[in-house]
Amino acid sequence: MISVDLTLKYSPMPVSVQRKEKDAAETLYQTIITAMQGDRPQLLELTCEKQTEKKVAIMSDQISAVIVSEKDGSASAGKVPGFAALGQIVNQG
């Protein structure tokens, strides 16, 4: 299952929908990116292939990030979805 997670402005919780195929997730990702780059906000209506009754409508100008990741049963417990910080923060003061 491929998860497409949307981070929304002014919202601490991401919105997620799933796709069964990698190509379908990539197509959805490109659709969202195109809508975000547009001059006028668009209403995006998304459905989920894992939970078929799940639907969400989002205005494209409220999306601040899109993350596509593969979800499988071997994911490590306790890991938070998203990106891990690599490297160290160095205090330069």
Q: What span, in angstroms and rounded, lies between the C-alpha atoms of 66 and 93? A: 34
pTM attached to this predicted model: 0.74
Q: What is the pLDDT of residue 63?
A: 96
> What 3-state DSSP class applies to 40?
coil
Per-residue pLDDT of 3-27, as tens digits, reads 999 999 999 899 999 999 999 999 9
> What 3-state DSSP class applies to 76?
coil
CA dihedral (68, 58, 78, 23) in degrees, to 10, reads: -20
Regions of the chain short of the pLDDT cut 50: 75-79, 82-88, 93
Amino acid, res. 57: A
HSE at residue 54, side-chain half, CA atoms within 13 A, is 11
